[in-house]
Copies of this chain bind each other. A is one copy, B any other.
Amino acid sequence: MRSYLKVLSWMPAALKMPEDELISHAGLDSAVYLRIYLIGLKIFAPITVLAFIILVPVNWTNTTLQSSKVQHSDIDKLSISNIPVGSKRFAAHLTMAYVFTFWTCYVLLREYEIVATMRLRFLASEKRRPDQFTVLVRNIPPDPDESIGELVEHFFLVNHPDHYLTHQVVYNANKLDKMVKEKKKMQNWLDYYQLKYERNTSQRPTTKTGFLGCFGSKVDAIEYYTSEIERIEKEETDERGKIMKDPKSVVPAAFVSFRSRWGAAVCAQTQQTSNPTVWLTEWAPEPRDVYWDNLSIPFVYLTIRRLIIAVAFFFLNFFYVIPIAFVQSLANIEGIEKAAPFLKPLIEMHTIKSFIQGFLPGIALKIFLILLPSILMFMSKVEGLTSVSSLERRSAFKYYIFLFFNVFLGSIIAGSALEQLKTFLHQSANEIPRTIGEAIPMKATFFITYAMVDGWAGVAGEILRLKPLIIFHLKNFFLVKTEKDREEAMDPGSIGFDSNEPQIQLYFLLGLVYAVVTPFLLPFILIFFGLAYVVYRHQIINVYNQEYESAAAFWPSVHGRIIVALIVSQLLLLGLLSTKGAAQSTPVLLVLPVVTFYFYKYCKNRYEPAFVEYPLQDAMRKDTLERAREPGFDLKGYLMNAYIHPVFKGDEDDEKFSISDEPEAEQVLVATKRQSRRNTPVPSKYNGSESPSLAEIVNDQRL
């Protein structure tokens, strides 16, 4: 027993770390990600208690199911199904629907406020970072007379004369990137053969030069790879020189840095020219968050790409069963026997045959579901987003839609999304919530199982890291050749917002939909959120790496999806009650989605700007503080190489940009109460000393 408790000793440790420490340890993204589980607890704990105190007795003390001949479980007796048609007891459910809605909205509002405040405080207290001063400019129009670099400099000197500091052009380094990767691979092979040779010096290892080392002439491996590396290194140097010289290798995009956060905030949030398809500015993502491949997509293509992906996603969502069914129809015993006759005697053995017959039909679907997040991420990449964080948010959105139709609705009305589409098209608008609503109570048992198998077990697997363990051992067996390989294989990666968050949202949806209908489901949801909160807190502290910091930019979509779940639950309850002879409840319930929608609009107006805009006052305050504290700081030098493509950058200077100012200094300066005075700017050094030199540059170029 004690040893069992010892196994769980990580739990209190995971909960002990205060949130501030967590933020500085794992970033705001991770801390706010945990709040998604917390919000689940906050919403569902009181709802569960209330539902068990009020709704369960109301449901239990009926005999509808006992007297009817329909098969039913004890769970059904606790649910709304047990109430006779047209009963006045539905008033309790109506009231509870209102109470639950208002409680959910209250929690959502509070949390939005807290997260927005956390984000603003985080941004205000952050160390100096290059992206605070930098704007990503895309679609720079070509000019026959000037290079992109000159063009950028002239444009911003003219239009932001007091604020422009410097810029970095973006090189198209895809080819170089490939070479660097090739060299790394060769180096790895070289290490492997050297290790092999060290262990057994009697025999020089050999390899074949052809495909996968299996074909072609035999050569001495160490010599071969050494010469290959030399060749690639030479090519690489040539390519580097070519990129730097050839103006065609410069992509029409640039990172433009400003003297102050104020200047950058102004440029990032305004339109530069009267043509909104050129000189597009937006906040530069963090250097490590930039998705370099998408920086050079022209404006027109963006709309077309989005259209294509929208259509493709529509088909993926509603028609994915078709190709899978096709693959399944091929992958049967006869097909295999035809394709590989030599396997026939093996397959015809009874046990193997039945195994294959049971296993094969599901495998195509399983593979598809495993690959799905990658497919969605690929789709998002095609859409042309420029930062990894926005790509993950986009993929999460797509994945949520997929889960909503194919898991939630698919399980309830027991058909593929394609069949649903047909149903929706052929049913009237008020018939759809009825059909779904009617089926909901019957599926409660299924979703309880789902919450346990997928939710609880998934979380338990997460703390044991089962999937990564399997993958690691597979990799170790097939791919790992050197220590470096093993290290890479052991890299836990980041938390994977794009596939995890939509799955959490599914539990919000289930909880809200079943809160009034079958309260018995709620404890299972509650346990899931509790368990997941503890486990992921531990994982975030001890396992995962932070890949980027978006300062909780994902919160508006998390909030929005919970609202969607709430509205869906209201509509389905409306449909359900109208089939239970409580049609007079319809207008009462119709108020809820309308009010909820306007609550969403209010929240969007009130809090979303904190996640999208960067207020000038905050920028000015931070600028003023920093100038007062470090009057002589060489910002230009600091920003000079912040945004260069990773292939041009050694690993050693990654840390350069996180040199901290002392956080105490800030406290001293912000102590005064009055807002409007405390950040009166100190007369700027820049305007006095550097502006003339910039003007000289312009004049020089003019002469």
Given A271-B613, A615-B271, A617-B273, A681 contacting B430 (CB threshold 8 A): no
Query: Is A303 touching B679 in the complex (CB atoms < 8 A)?
Result: no
Interface size for A (C-beta < 8 A) is: 68
Which of A150-158, A200-208, A454-462, A626-634 is found at the contact surface with chain B?
A150-158
A602: nearest chain-B partner, CB-CB: B303
Query: Is B676 touching A605 in the complex (CB atoms < 8 A)?
Result: no
Q: Which one, B159, B307, B426, B677, contacts A620 given CB within 8 A?
A: B159
Chain B residues in 8 Å Cβ range of A676: 146, 151, 154-155, 158
Which of A103-111, A262-270, A354-362, A565-573 is found at the contact surface with chain B?
A262-270
A276: nearest chain-B partner, CB-CB: B609
Bound complex: CA A269 to CA B273 (Å) = 14
Question: Is A428 at the interface (CB under 8 A from chain B)?
Answer: yes
Question: Is A424 at the interface (CB under 8 A from chain B)?
Answer: yes
Query: Is A266 touching B272 in the complex (CB atoms < 8 A)?
Result: no
A141: nearest chain-B partner, CB-CB: B675
Q: Which one, B158, B279, B299, B601, contacts A303 given CB within 8 A?
A: B601
Given A158-B681, A615-B274, A681-B158, A426 contacting B428 (CB threshold 8 A): yes
Query: Is A270 touching B271 in the complex (CB atoms < 8 A)?
Result: no
Query: What is the distance, in angstroms, from A674's C-beta to the closest C-beta of chain B?
Result: 8
A591: nearest chain-B partner, CB-CB: B311
Count copies of this chain in the complex: 2
Chain B proximity mask over A416-456: 1 for CB below 8 Å, otherwise 0? 00000000111111110000000000000000000000000
Question: Is A35 at the interface (CB under 8 A from chain B)?
Answer: no
Chain B proximity mask over A249-266: 1 for CB below 8 Å, otherwise 0? 000000000000000011
Query: What is the distance, in angstroms, from A567's C-beta to the closest C-beta of chain B?
Result: 15
A300: nearest chain-B partner, CB-CB: B602
Question: Is A606 at the interface (CB under 8 A from chain B)?
Answer: yes
Residues of A520-576 whose CB lies within 8 A of B: none
Query: Is B598 touching A307 in the complex (CB atoms < 8 A)?
Result: yes
Question: Is A683 at the interface (CB under 8 A from chain B)?
Answer: yes
A601: nearest chain-B partner, CB-CB: B303
Query: Is B155 touching A272 in the complex (CB atoms < 8 A)?
Result: no
Question: Is A414 at the interface (CB under 8 A from chain B)?
Answer: no
Question: Is A160 at the interface (CB under 8 A from chain B)?
Answer: yes
Bound complex: CA A319 to CA B298 (Å) = 49
Bound complex: CA A311 to CA B587 (Å) = 13
Question: Is A228 at the interface (CB under 8 A from chain B)?
Answer: no
Query: Is B425 touching A428 in the complex (CB atoms < 8 A)?
Result: yes
Question: Is A466 at the interface (CB under 8 A from chain B)?
Answer: no
Chain B residues in 8 Å Cβ range of A336: none
Given A274-B617, A276-B606, A683 contacting B702 (CB threshold 8 A): no
Question: Is A407 at the interface (CB under 8 A from chain B)?
Answer: no
Query: Is B695 touching A606 in the complex (CB atoms < 8 A)?
Result: no
Bound complex: CA A311 to CA B593 (Å) = 13
Question: Is A15 at the interface (CB under 8 A from chain B)?
Answer: no
Given A120-B274, A307-B598, A311-B594, A681 contacting B609 (CB threshold 8 A): no
Question: Is A374 at the interface (CB under 8 A from chain B)?
Answer: no
Query: Is B276 touching A605 in the complex (CB atoms < 8 A)?
Result: yes
Given A303-B601, A424-B429, A695 contacting B683 (CB threshold 8 A): yes
Bound complex: CA A159 to CA B616 (Å) = 7
Q: A270-B616, A274-B618 are in contact. List 13 more A-B contacts (CB 8 A).
A: A145-B674, A146-B676, A155-B676, A158-B679, A160-B616, A162-B162, A271-B613, A276-B606, A299-B605, A299-B606, A307-B594, A427-B428, A428-B431
Q: Offer 23 A-B interface pairs, CB within 8 angstroms, sorted by A.
A: A146-B676, A151-B676, A154-B676, A158-B677, A158-B679, A159-B617, A162-B687, A265-B270, A270-B615, A271-B613, A274-B615, A276-B605, A276-B609, A276-B613, A279-B617, A299-B606, A300-B602, A303-B602, A303-B605, A425-B430, A429-B429, A680-B702, A687-B687
The 8 closest A-B pairs by CB, nearest first: A276-B609, A154-B676, A271-B613, A307-B598, A303-B602, A425-B430, A273-B617, A271-B615
